Structure 1
């Protein structure tokens, strides 16, 4: 379809050239929320809601596009914690229980709303939806959603990439180079062990970049990453093509910049599509609206109100009573918004291509959980966009960044500036008065881990000591997750976020002290391995920056 011209950075075509490209990237990530020590745990619902409302609908979109032979391109970043949770048998079993509960609640709602026609139609819709989720999850993919994504990667329409091990905020971990290196290495190793191939792209957690980070990415074979708009616009060299062409960081690793226009259309609370009054209201849920005795079996401890996923109202207007949700109007509006998105990209690309020395590429990255979880109609919007972009009468082509780099090989050399896609564009959301106390603790644990492993260099460790060292590495990585300081700043489930950090640090401290004093309790080590069974392929030896290796023995401790 496209031919490469290596020297100029241009491409030529066998048929008339399209003026430009659009690359849509979805980043799927959740913190590690797995609690086998409890029969059930509220925060595990974060995963179950995302599977039900986002990941299964996304798989449905991909399956339908494949069935209809639609030519599309999409990129999906899967975080290592999400990969590990989707593979976990305990969470798979608990998710099936969650789905059966939702089906039971939908059946009860069909009976309860028998005299409320508008509500009952929606109750029946939810029953159909939950049945679809159960059939897709249990029968079509046997609980293995990663296999579904791999199938579409193999088709050539979906590019899968990954991110850091526990979504650690890399600029603030950069006090210790080994911390950054292991976040990246363990993330990529986890992806490769699961997917069977190495990712070409890397999603920087929170799009948080600092100059020099590209050298670590290059070490692990990464070809490209993403930064926010100002990361490119404030680079050390003025970008000739703005954010509509990537820059080479000087070592062959390229940075793509986020397009502000397409981001605002989807993300903006005031101007974005999800705020349309015809769409389903996320915050209107029967878990909060019905009498407690009706929903008690389906909420937390039968007394704490939580979302059930059954919502009957549309967003409506300000200061108005919430109107009943109308799915037909909402889906029609999703189609209209998809056409608006395509139309705006066409006009944008036409204007850009008239001034650039190459075909522009519009980078449109989003959190995957927006589509379906926060914005119920998001998967429908996305499917319409992917179908419309494949039509022959438009002037854009969807492309993955890997395919773009295979076609366009000459890039301006520039060093992006420090940046994130968070509030105010830099690091303040992840280090402020609400969460700055965690970083000295994280840095101290990281330094202690590195010193311990280096002190063991050249020595023989027993199997139990090796298990404890690997578990200590897991504890450090889990404590470093960017989700916890984010939650502390945003003010949601703050106590849980604090507890997760302190628990992981306490587990590390126990293991560290037990190794230093040769007082390990095998039962306790085993318990920690059961609770935090993430990253099965981890190797503690990577924490010794000197490169000396610790030897293992097959003997018993």
Structure 2
């Protein structure tokens, strides 16, 4: 059996800058990836196709796809795309981009104006996709106080239920990060399966594995197959015929060149040719199907029973980073069954018994070195310290507000906002961006802005200035009002840092 898993995630970008990093990142990914992907899946679902793939959508991305500010901004962005197409000097580029922008604008106005939830829910209800959830705001869970880890995960799953009417039983853990004992928290939250990277299972990803003494199953990414599409050094998107991500028409910001060659300067790249790109897509679809078939046969022969192959990618690869990705994906989803390959979801794999013997899973992630260095290495020691400070401040402040009262408390909007700012401050994205030197200044600034908001609100709250704390929480909420159902009363503050139970 073959299972495709997509992980859709962006940090909270609304009201935090526009260009070069900020809301523009969201709108580009929305237009290039989320619009065509959901449109393609909807078309396949209308044909009666089910169990196409496992689709992870993080709560923080889902919040932006439903947010009125983001929806309005996206509508304006699509209209601006159409205007930029009119301004292109090259006639072929202008026509091609105008058609794409007009189609995207029509699709957005037809299906997306009330948010992403009404678009995604039919795909889940029809069984076209398995929905994978995750914790609020995408924290690096192994480094997180278990009390906030538990809160973030349970609230993230509840957020999914609120938006889509289903509570996910599978998750894509942020950064595929794992620490022994986390499987207990997963089981307590109702999670039956989660993703890890292939090396976490010592490269043997032919079956899911129950973790330690639990019934929770870890599925590993098959790197031989996944890296065929995309790896740190190679993959289909680098083919000469595909549209080049890095080269722009400077007057309009439109991308008008093809890759041409890895060592070719931008000024020397050839014009984009859609026909040549389409032919390359067909070639790479055939190669991928052959790779999957070969891998299934060799792994089944090796283990002496039908094997599982899991290919897993960031959703944003398909469209945003690799322009032709959505078309390739649709052709693959059609070609695999035509080649006699059984396609399903992670839940299908678990329920149908593609599960082997228990594994003593160790610390891991899908970052550099497959360990935690990206998120706790020397390059981000300042952010590690900041994260520890803000988490302690948040938990202590919420705990103090309860004043030892065992009776149920009323909803506390100040505490709610304290936790919103805390979760935004400790998002795994900031350490990743710093370690990879990708907009590191923006990442550090974001972590510190949310930490400042937390400190400001907490200082007023613990200093007995309740009216000021409420005013500050309301002000910060105007920028960071994600997760309106977040309820700080569900955070346990009376358990010491350490074990899961």
TM-score range, shorter chain: over 0.9
Please tell me the root mean square deviation across aligned C-alpha atoms, in Å. Answer: 2.1
Residues 88, 399 of structure 1: alpha-carbon distance in 2 compared, 3 angstrom cutoff: same
For 2:180 and 2:421, the matched residues in 1 are separated by: 28
For 2:420 and 2:112, the matched residues in 1 are separated by: 29
Structure with the higher helix share, 1 or 2: 2
Matched with 2:75 is: 96
Q: CA deviation at 1:459?
A: 6.7
Q: CA deviation at 1:69?
A: 4.3
CA contact (8 A) 2:51 2:127 kept: no
1:390 aligns with 2:337: yes
CA contact (8 A) 1:434 1:489 kept: yes
Specify which of 318, 321, 324 is matched with residue 371 of structure 1. Answer: 318
Matched pairs, number = 487
Specify which of 370, 385, 392 is matched with residue 447 of structure 1. Answer: 392
1:315 aligns with 2:259: yes
CA contact (8 A) 1:72 1:390 kept: no
Matched with 1:437 is: 382
* Residues 73-152 of structure 1 aligned to structure 2 (within 5 Å): 73-109=52-88, 112-113=89-90, 120-152=91-123
Provide structure 2 residue ranges, at least 5 long, that are not aligned to the other structure. Answer: 496-501
For 1:373 and 1:537, the matched residues in 2 are separated by: 30
1:381 aligns with 2:328: yes
1:266 aligns with 2:229: yes
Matched with 1:5 is: none
Matched with 2:498 is: none
The normalised TM-score by structure 2 is: 0.92
Per-residue CA distance 1:264-319 (angstroms, 9 max, x = gap): 10112543111100100000112xx34xxxx5xxxxxxxxxxxx3x2111000244
* Residues 60-459 of structure 1 aligned to structure 2 (within 5 Å): 60-70=39-49, 73-109=52-88, 112-113=89-90, 120-173=91-144, 176-233=145-202, 242-249=204-211, 250-286=213-249, 289-290=250-251, 295=252, 308=253, 310-320=254-264, 321-391=268-338, 394-408=339-353, 411-455=356-400, 456=402, 457-458=404-405
For 1:423 and 1:537, the matched residues in 2 are separated by: 35
Structure 1 residue ranges, 4+ long, deviating more than 6 angstroms after superposition: 38-41, 459-463
The normalised TM-score by structure 1 is: 0.83
Provide structure 1 residue ranges, at least 5 long, that are not aligned to the other structure. Answer: 1-20, 114-119, 235-241, 296-307, 548-557
Matched with 2:473 is: 525
State which structure, 1 or 2, has the greater radius of gyration over its C-alpha atoms. 1
For 1:68 and 1:542, the matched residues in 2 are separated by: 42
Q: CA deviation at 1:177?
A: 1.4
Matched with 1:35 is: 15
SS at match of 2:132: strand
Per-residue CA distance 1:487-529 (angstroms, 9 max, x = gap): 1112222221111111111111112111111213243221112
